[in-house]
Each structure stands twice: as C-alpha cells, then as structure tokens.
Amino acid sequence: MGHDHVATPEEPLAERLRARGLRLTAQRRRVLAAVTALEHATPDSIGARLREEAGPDGPAPDTSTVYRNLELLERLGLVWHTHLGKGAPVYHVAEHPHLHVVCSSCGDVSSVDPGILDGAAERLAAEHGFTVDVGHVALTGACRACRQRSESS
Amino acid sequence: MGHDHVATPEEPLAERLRARGLRLTAQRRRVLAAVTALEHATPDSIGARLREEAGPDGPAPDTSTVYRNLELLERLGLVWHTHLGKGAPVYHVAEHPHLHVVCSSCGDVSSVDPGILDGAAERLAAEHGFTVDVGHVALTGACRACRQRSESS
DNA sequence: CTCGTTGCAAAGGATTTGCACAAGT
DNA sequence: ACTTGTGCAAATCCTTTGCAACGAG
C-alpha cells in the first residue's frame, strides 16, 4: 500500500501477453478495462462503452476486435464468460468467481456466493466424476419480486 | 395397461390446444414427437430429423414452423428449453425435469438428477428469496475423461 | 365458412472471417 | 524488419417476421 496502483489488472495482462510472445495494444487494455468496469459486460455493452469513452470523433476498437480480444483475454485467464439465456454472453474479470442468478421474468441478474454450490459440486464429482466450473454457472428462476407478483394472480 | 398407448404425449397436446382454441396440426405433432425422441433437441436437430422422417421428397415442416411450434409447446407446458452455452437452445419434454451438465472441452452433455441442487436451491430461497428453475439449469465444467486428459499434460 | 397455421422469402441481429494496412517489439 | 493486431467489409449462423395460400374445426 502506498503505491498508486491502478484498479485494473494491467500488469498481469502485460506479463501474460509477453509470456506468449503477444502484444500489448491499446485496444486490449481498453477491452479489459471495460470488462473490469462493467458488471455484466456483453460484447455489445463493451463496444458501446468503448465508443463512449472515445467520444463521437475518437476511434474506438472495432467490434471484431472486441470479440477477438475477449476470446484472447479468456484464454489468458483474465476474464470469464457465462451465458445468461439467449444470445447474451456475459463477461467478467476472473478474480472473484461469482455465480450468476437470472430472473426469467424481469431479466434481473445478480451475483451470488459460489459456495452455495459446494454441495452440488461435491456430489457431481463423487457420483459423476464431473468438475463443475463455478465461474460459468448461471441459474435461472424467479426473483423475490417477480415471485410475489405472480402469486397474487 | 392393456391399452395401446403411444409413448408420445399426444393427448395432452390435443387437449391443451383445444382448451385454447388452437389447432392440432400434423406439424405440431411431428415437432413434439421429435423433441420426445431426441435427447438434446436443438431447433436444428429437430429440423434435420423431420427432414429425414419425411424422406428426400416428402414435405417437412419449415424451419420457421419448428421455431413457432417449439415456442408454443413451451407455452403449453409440454417442453422446456435450456441454453447450453452459445447459440444452442436445447429442448426436452417437460415430464421429468433434468439438470444438464456440459463438458466445456468435449461438448458432451449429460442429464443429472436435479436433487443434486436441492441444497443450493434452499439456500438461494432462504438467503435471496430466489426460486431456482431446476429444469432450466445447465452446469458447465470438465467431465471425467477430459479432466484426466488435461491432468496428464 | 372462418380464423389459426404454414411455407416461403426476406429481414435482422449477433458473431466470425479474409485481407491489406497499421503497429508493437 | 518481422510478425502480430486492427479495421473494414463481407460472409455466416440463428432466429424472427410479413404475407398470401392452406387447412382444421
């Protein structure tokens, strides 16, 4: 402490790129920063944010670059993605694994302690030899608000 | 017992359609039959199967009809769908809720006893007021085979 | 007959790909 | 310099929609 550390994991990015002979580009930094800043980042929302940050004139990374770099960042182990229903891959930084919980009525997404799955994970490992990837899990269902709304019908 | 019952839930289909003033068409019967027969039915695989069944000359339901009817069958409560990763919604008959487990390396999908999630479901209900929809859950991870393969590297 | 359904074709949205040029190292 | 990365445009893939003809009730 005392150092002016940036919140974004820039050093890991630089290191891991170098380790593979890949290059640290402005676009890669920006995409990672966007995923870090956004809570439930979709390729679209990331693109939008980058366009905002760049202003109406400044150049923002191309959509294809966003996709390519999200894939790369995931290979580097810096971000993870989950599918929350239809065509919406959601990216988040890999640091703290979340478990995503999605309400199918209102679409609300919240993050939950992954420990909640420990029991299920153990049983799957024991009974099926399957190792659950907790960071990628999305649970669908009804949130409190929507549940009450439908109960009163 | 004794009756020659078909395995496909045709009567429920007819009933539920009639109850809503909708019509029982050959296409609807065929789509439901295909979902029943296929284990992890995607709109695509359903279309393919219907095309097979019809032969190279016979008329198979159009893709758009497959989509429309899957949606309808789901509204009628006869089938459920889940998203197993990217662009592949998987349909199955609603009778016995499964929990889907997908290996992210080999893509293998298997069905598991939903009871495995009971603990997690209870905690989510108690701590977050969230009711998990077990039929829609897909768990990602590594299957035994792929895990061993990667351990030996 | 009447209105829900279908097929066809075209529209859409999201993601990927080929390629020449730009840019890290 | 050498090779990777980027932007752009076109190509795909999956899904939805408009509309005239069709067919179940």
Looking at the predicted structure, is the pLDDT value of residue B110 above 60? yes
Q: To the nearest whole angstrom, how far is the Cα of A57 from the nearest Cα of chain B?
A: 34
How confident is residue B37, by pLDDT bands cut at 50, 70 and 90? very high
Per-residue pLDDT, averaged over B5-23, amounts to 82
| Sign of the alpha-carbon dihedral angle for A115, A117, A120, A126 | negative
Q: To the nearest whole angstrom, how far is the Cα of A145 from the nearest Cα of chain B?
A: 9
What digits encode the pLDDT tens for the residues A4-30? Answer: 454 555 689 999 999 999 999 999 999
What digits encode the pLDDT tens for the residues A58-108? Answer: 899 999 999 999 999 999 999 999 988 787 899 999 887 788 898 888 888
Find the helix packing angle between B26-37 and B10-19, rounded to 10°.
Answer: 140
Looking at the predicted structure, is the pLDDT value of residue A52 above 90? yes
Q: What is the pLDDT of residue B8?
A: 56
From-to residues of CATH 3.30.1490.190 in chain B: 99-152
How many Å apart are CA B46 and CA B71, to the nearest integer?
13
Q: Is the CB of B64 under 7 A from strand D?
A: yes
Please list every residue in chain B whose beta carbon sits closer than 8 Å to the beta carbon of residue A130: 101, 103, 139, 141-144
Task: Using alpha carbons, select from A133, A135, A147 the residue that is nearest to residue A103.
Answer: A147
Q: Is A89 on the interface with B (CB under 8 A)?
A: yes
Nearest to B119 among A103, A120, A142 (CB): A120
Q: How would you class A130 by CB atoms within 10 Å of its CB: exposed for 0-12, middle for 13-18, buried for 19 or more?
A: buried
| CA within 13 Å, CB half, A14 | 5
Task: Read off φ and ψ for residue A6, nearest 5 degrees.
Answer: -80, 155
Q: What is the pLDDT of residue B36?
A: 95
DSSP A41: B
Q: Is the CB of B26 under 7 A from strand D?
A: yes
> Straight-line distance from CA B71 to C1' D18, in Å?
19
Give the number of other CB atoms < 10 A from CB of residue A63.
14
Chain C bases near protein Cβ (<7 Å):
4-10, 14-18, 23-25
More confident residue, A1 or A69: A69
DSSP assignment string, A80-149 = EEEE-STT-EEEEESSS--EEEEETTT--EEEE-GGGGHHHHHHHHHHH--EE-GGG-EEEEE-HHHHHH
Residues 91-130 of A with CB under 8 A from B: 101, 103-104, 110, 112, 116-117, 119-120, 123-124, 128-130
Q: What is the pLDDT of residue A153?
A: 53
Domain B99-152 top-level CATH class = alpha beta
From-to residues of CATH 1.10.10.10 in chain B: 10-82
Looking at the predicted structure, is the pLDDT value of residue B87 above 80? no
How many Å apart are CA B82 and CA B109, to the nearest integer?
12
How confident is residue A3, by pLDDT bands cut at 50, 70 and 90? low
How many Å apart are CA B85 and CA A81, to the nearest integer?
10
Q: What is the pLDDT of residue A2?
A: 42
How confident is residue B123, by pLDDT bands cut at 50, 70 and 90? very high
Q: Is the CB of B68 under 7 A from strand C?
A: yes
Task: Read off φ and ψ for residue B102, nearest 5 degrees.
Answer: -120, 130
DSSP A2: -
The reply to whether residue B86 touches residue A85, judged by beta carbons under 8 angstroms, is no
Per-residue pLDDT, averaged over A111-129, amounts to 93
| Sign of the alpha-carbon dihedral angle for B119, B120, B125, B127 | positive
Please list every residue in chain A whose beta carbon sits closer than 8 Å to the beta carbon of residue B86: 83, 89
Q: Is the CB of A110 under 7 A from strand D?
A: no
pTM confidence score: 0.87
Please list every residue in chain A whose beta carbon sits closer than 8 Å to the beta carbon of residue B104: 133, 136
Q: What is the pLDDT of residue A8?
A: 57
CATH number for the region A10-82 comes to: 1.10.10.10
Task: Using alpha carbons, select from A64, A62, A102, A66 the residue that is nearest to residue A85.
Answer: A102
How confident is residue A130, by pLDDT bands cut at 50, 70 and 90? very high
Looking at the predicted structure, is the pLDDT value of residue B2 above 50? no
How many Å apart are CA B137 and CA B112, to the nearest integer?
11
